[in-house]
Structure 1
């Protein structure tokens, strides 16, 4: 039986920027999470790759904690993949795959400080897909292609 090749898969990722500022050990107030994403699709004869940059920012209302983490991720996809399916993978699946890595990274780093570990709450990243779509170049093929 031949193994089925994944249509879209994580090739690699790295944390390219990490800033954690803690101005007070007694954190108060609600921690707000914001996620932004940009991406680029590179289609080549030998390899089709989606490069995604995800930025996660956390801060509380009285500005005693500020966390900014940027990750660079690379996904491979099947060149014959339907464009609508590729769009869904790039705007919904890819962010949902990477967010747990960032969540664990932030949790581990903040656990090493004298504050409690800061955990990103569960977020419905798929609901943010429409907003993400605007920041991905190469998603819509030109009419000339």
Structure 2
């Protein structure tokens, strides 16, 4: 059996919210949401990755970004054949794009740029698996 390989073929930012009335200098709480769809007929995986940033102690987000990406597979024809390492690696591949985008949009807003730290997001592989479905 040949091993599966994949590559990112496209990504786009589908939703961006900036509301600095909810921004306060200091600590930032960052959360993530991930989900996916494996399209069998095309052997592609659509990954949706959202980031939400809130100032500490404030319930409303001052930054929210949704990103959609396409990963193409070779040697994979069903969701069951998607290797476990894909879930962790796909998030790790996409996160630098999200991180750079957040920095760019905040610096262009003429405020102190929000620079998200480099993070180990391997804990998101479980939620991504759980929130992935398969379609023909």
Q: Fold match, TM over 0.5?
A: yes
Distance in 2 (CA, whole Å) between partners of 1:110 and 1:28 is 13
After the TM superposition, which parts of structure 1 deviate over 2 Å for at least 4 consecutive aligned residues?
A: 62-65, 79-88
Q: Larger Cα Rg: Structure 1 or Structure 2?
A: 1
- Alignment of 1:61 onto 2:41: no
Q: Secondary structure at the match of 1:117?
A: coil
Which of these residues, 70, 74, 77, is aligned with residue 78 of structure 1? 74
Distance in 2 (CA, whole Å) between partners of 1:112 and 1:105 is 11
Which of these residues, 28, 33, 37, is aligned with residue 30 of structure 2? 33
1:87 corresponds in structure 2 to 84
Pair 1:133–1:80, CA change in 2 (3 A)? closer
Aligned-residue CA RMSD in angstroms? 2.4
1:23 to partner: Cα distance: 1.3
Q: Which runs of 5+ in 1 are unaligned?
A: 1-5, 139-145
1:132 to partner: Cα distance: 2.1
Normalised by the size of structure 2, how large is the TM-score?
Answer: 0.83
Q: Which runs of 5+ in 2 are unaligned?
A: none
Normalised by the size of structure 1, how large is the TM-score?
Answer: 0.79
How many residues align structurally?
130
Pair 1:43–1:66, CA change in 2 (3 A)? same
Which of these residues, 11, 15, 29, is aligned with residue 17 of structure 1? 15
2:47 corresponds in structure 1 to 52
